[in-house]
Amino acid sequence: MIYITRRETFAASHRLYRPELSDEENYKLFGKCSNPNGHGHNYTIEITVAGEVDPYTGFVLDLKKLKEIIQNEIIIHVDHKNLNVDTQFMKGIIPTSENICIALWKQLEDKIPNGKLFSIKLYETENNYFEYRG
Amino acid sequence: MIYITRRETFAASHRLYRPELSDEENYKLFGKCSNPNGHGHNYTIEITVAGEVDPYTGFVLDLKKLKEIIQNEIIIHVDHKNLNVDTQFMKGIIPTSENICIALWKQLEDKIPNGKLFSIKLYETENNYFEYRG
Amino acid sequence: MIYITRRETFAASHRLYRPELSDEENYKLFGKCSNPNGHGHNYTIEITVAGEVDPYTGFVLDLKKLKEIIQNEIIIHVDHKNLNVDTQFMKGIIPTSENICIALWKQLEDKIPNGKLFSIKLYETENNYFEYRG
Amino acid sequence: MIYITRRETFAASHRLYRPELSDEENYKLFGKCSNPNGHGHNYTIEITVAGEVDPYTGFVLDLKKLKEIIQNEIIIHVDHKNLNVDTQFMKGIIPTSENICIALWKQLEDKIPNGKLFSIKLYETENNYFEYRG
Amino acid sequence: MIYITRRETFAASHRLYRPELSDEENYKLFGKCSNPNGHGHNYTIEITVAGEVDPYTGFVLDLKKLKEIIQNEIIIHVDHKNLNVDTQFMKGIIPTSENICIALWKQLEDKIPNGKLFSIKLYETENNYFEYRG
Amino acid sequence: MIYITRRETFAASHRLYRPELSDEENYKLFGKCSNPNGHGHNYTIEITVAGEVDPYTGFVLDLKKLKEIIQNEIIIHVDHKNLNVDTQFMKGIIPTSENICIALWKQLEDKIPNGKLFSIKLYETENNYFEYRG
């Protein structure tokens, strides 16, 4: 079994809040991440697929294809977007890094051509990262 | 002459657009950075001060003080903020990285206790950075 | 289950030696890390907590609180300190990276407000890192 | 149980191809990695050993020795080399990152003086990495 | 004056040698970089352009255009290539990092749409980099 | 003119203080860097030499030689050392990063075989760096 990881980045804005709460209540719950006009990040994601090596090619899967899948299923929906408003697959979900990880997993889970999706890692800043393994 | 650099980061959202233009016209001019609902970045800044070494302390200036000044003059105004709406010193300025550099220079220029402000460097992503030397 | 990691850094000095051995014997055992006057590192730690996402907030735990706990239980005891002399929780322990990992685990194990401590990772240099999972 | 990781780098060239195929067929299978005159990378490897801490030294193993073993078993065979032609332990193997990981595992598996080899991680670029755990 | 830098990477192989010398003589002059079958690197380049900010857009130049120019003038000629054989603009030039910098400068010098080419920086490894300013 | 930079690292401890002052007075002047038992850093240095390219080799200078000179003139005196006590060329000098830069310049200035020493850059942490150009 080999674990292959592809790293990509995207730049997005978001706001953490519950719509039924006041700004003060949201600040209590989400701190400065609840700023009403939003803020943003350069997110880095690491997508790991686990699979066996094809003895003919020496590949688990063609990384060019994995890159295209990540591009089409994730990047075009989140890069230079507002995650609260623009991203269909985040609709109705508070865009915490925890929830983004789970949403990205759902986007990719059935699309991996060889091997199986093993892990989604998301770096929100250089000091905070999150991982989901399904 | 010694050049001292302090690195800090902040997370902000922004939108590049001119209000008198349509979304289509703004897209033509600013590309995906004109997304109407905004997007964001983890910005990294490097503030460089040039000065002479005090023979008694071996310091050009106390980095703790420089850090405080950067905190008060820059970080609290931009971190977890929307640069188009929340940041007083960016009012009326299109928040391109070029313009942010110049605005940060103006914020700091007269506040350096020892030595002189030499350079403002701003990393918008890991692939794009900008520098202003006054 | 989501794995959340917080990264922090601290600057410390240490010396690897057993007090009952001569300098030559310590050098044989610990190499240049036994230098009698000590040496130091910028240590980086990555603290990983595993837990379930609260559906109301989308958080496993409030990272601001995790950061405070790491600050109070670890950073103030080791940052700008001599690990052999200044750090209470390292008393009587040779401050190898292996032992530091285990000591940090003991400091944090019972303090995590939500989820469970999963891993302590310690980078001694850019080329050597150590992990402990309890 | 402590996991110790040593990071090393090497610079090598390679070509991905099957000798019985034409250049066009190889391009279909391996893309630009099949360029007939080769290309190259700064590879980074992370070798992880798992073991228990010796209470006398506080070490799992002497990292200087691990470094020497990696140097002798791996680095001298691949650094500033052509992996298709110069590296004995890659003979007859397509030098994909997957296959390099497995070959490095075989080189090291029986050479670890204390603890057990746990993982071989290989970064081909800053965006693609591969891991093998035996 | 603002300095804008775009960072790109490419993976290439090369060999340092003079064709009129024997392998031994080349080894004396170029060390392990003269390995007859070549070796390779992940090169990182940083292209810096200096210019004035257009008050209408807040841009010195459109980074998307700069990226395209670097792609067409540099990357397609060197990425996944052998610099001694495949790269037209390196023909007859020993592909040392010094000479690559100068060749990249010539490729780009007249192609910058706004502002002027200020610097070419090339990282051969994480420990060695080279800069040329014309 | 080409600027060549070699990056090296070393791990050292130090204490910032003036011997004639009390611990309280030193704390006032140097903050936590005055901790009586010292602390330490993984220092990174970048040594830049400026010179012209030799048309026969395509080199400004042999980087292997530059590496040896840095090793002999700097690294063996500071790596795994206490800068206040162990390092001959820092005797009587408060080991601030400013003063270390100047001392490293003096160590190297006359030893560069081709080209001229252009800059000494010293990273004390990932957030603070210092440069001296003579």
Tell me the chain E residues in contact with residue B128 when contact means C-beta distances shorter than 8 Å: 4-7, 63
The pLDDT of D76-88, averaged and rounded, is 98
According to the model, what pLDDT value does residue C92 have? 96
The rounded distance, in Å, linking the Cα atoms of D125 and F65 is 28
pLDDT of residue C11: 98
Q: Give yes or no for F31 touching B (CB within 8 A).
A: yes
Who among D96, D127, D133 is closest to A58 (CB)?
D96
* Contact criterion met (CB < 8 Å) for F53 and E131: no
Two structure tokens written together for A34: 């609840």
Nearest-CA distance A62 → chain B (Å): 25
Q: Residue A127: exposed, middle, or buried by beta-carbon count in 10 A (0-12, 13-18, 19+)?
A: middle
pLDDT of residue B4: 98
Q: Which residues of chain A have pLDDT under 70?
A: none
Residue A38, domain extent: 2-132
pLDDT of residue D85: 98
Q: Tell me the three-class secondary structure of B66-85, residue by residue.
A: HHHHHHHHHHHHHCCEECCC
Instruction: Collapse the DSSP code of C106 into the 3-class scheme (helix H, G, I; strand E, B; otherwise coil) and give the result.
Output: helix
Average pLDDT over residues F21-27: 98
The confidence band for C128, taking pLDDT boundaries of 50, 70 and 90, is very high
Shortest Cα distance, chain A CAs vs residue C15, angstroms: 28
Total of domains in chain F:
1
| Option in F4, F8, F62 nearest E130 (CB) | F4
Q: Which of A8, A9, A17, A37 is the best residue to mutate to test the B interface, defined by the most B CB atoms within 10 Å of its own CB?
A: A37
Tell me the pLDDT band of D126, cut-offs 50, 70 and 90.
Answer: very high
* DSSP letters for chain F: -EEEEEEEEEEEEE----TTS-HHHHHHHHGGGG-TT-EEEEEEEEEEEEEPPPTTTS-SS-HHHHHHHHIIIIIHHHTTEETTTT-GGGTTS---HHHHHHHHHHHHTTT-SSSEEEEEEEESSSSEEEEE--
C55 exposure class (CB count in 10 Å sphere: 0-12, 13-18, 19+): exposed
Strand (E) or helix (H) holding A117? strand A116-123
Task: Give rounded-to-5 percent helix, strand, coil for chain B.
Answer: 30, 30, 35
Find the mean pLDDT for residues F2-25: 98
Q: What is the pLDDT of residues E23-81, one digit of tens each?
A: 999 999 999 999 999 999 999 999 999 999 999 999 999 999 999 999 999 999 999 99
Subunits in contact with chain A (3 or more CB pairs closer than 8 Å): B, C, D
Six-digit token pair at C120? 């302590």
Q: What tokens does A52 get? A: 């066996």
User: Alpha-carbon distance A52 to D19, whole Å?
Assistant: 23
- pLDDT tens-digit map of B69-127: 999 999 999 999 999 999 999 999 999 999 999 999 999 999 999 999 999 999 999 99
Interface list for C 49-108 with A (CB within 8 A): 53, 56-60, 62-64
* Distant-in-sequence, close-in-space partners of B89: CB < 8 Å, separation ≥ 6: B77, B103, B106, B107
pLDDT at residue A53, as a whole number: 98
* Chains in touch with D (≥3 Cβ pairs < 8 A): A, C, E
CA-wise closest residue to A100 among A76, A113, A117, A83: A83
* pLDDT per residue as tens digits for the range E75-128: 999 999 999 999 999 999 999 999 999 999 999 999 999 999 999 999 999 999
- What is the share, in percent, of chain D residues with pLDDT greater than 90? 100
pLDDT at position F71 is 98
Indicate the pTM of the whole model.
Answer: 0.97
Could you confirm whether B39 is annotated as catalytic? no
Residue D5 is encoded by which pair of tokens? 């990781």
Strand partners, C41: C12
Picking from A65, A63, A46, the residue whose alpha carbon sits closest to that of residue A118 is: A46
Cα–Cα distances in angstroms (integers) from residue A130 to residues C29, C77, C104, D129, E133, in the given order: 39, 27, 21, 18, 42
Question: pLDDT band at residue D34, thresholds of 50, 70 and 90?
Answer: very high
Structure tokens at D45: 């490897």
**Rounded CA gap, C17 and C36, in Å?**
8
Give the pLDDT of residue E108. 98
Residue pair E83/E14 in contact by the 8 Å Cβ criterion: yes
Burial of F46 (0-12, 13-18, 19+ CB in 10 A): middle
HSE (CB half, 13 Å, CA atoms) of A75?
A: 18
As a whole number of angstroms, the distance between CA D129 and CA D123 comes to 4
3-state helix, strand, coil in chain E (%, to 5): 30, 30, 35
Region C44-53: mean pLDDT is 98
State the nearest Cα–Cα gap between F62 and chain B, in angstroms. 28
- Which residues of C are less than 8 Å from D4 in CB distance? 98, 128-130
Residue of E nearest to D38 (CA): E82
The rounded distance, in Å, linking the Cα atoms of A114 and B120 is 47
| CB contact at 8 A, C105 and C121 | no
Among A80, A98, A109, A131, the active-site one is A80
Query: Does residue B132 contact residue B68 with C-beta atoms inside 8 Å?
Result: no
Residue with tokens 């303090």: C111
pLDDT at E81: 98
Q: How far lies E65's CA from each of A39, D79, E2, E4, E68, in Å? A: 27, 37, 17, 13, 5
Pairwise CB contact (< 8 Å): A99 & C63 = no
Cβ atoms within 10 A of the Cβ of E11, count?
Answer: 22
Domain holding F9: CATH number? 3.30.479.10
Best residue in D16, D17, D80 to probe E by mutation, most E CBs within 10 Å? D80
Catalytic residue (choose from E80, E98, E109, E131): E80
Note whether ipTM > 0.90 here: yes
DSSP run (H or E) holding D81: strand D81-82
Span F107-119, mean pLDDT?
97
Which chain F residues are Cβ-neighbours of E101 within 8 angstroms? 2
Residues E15 and E34: their CA atoms lie apart, in Å, by: 6
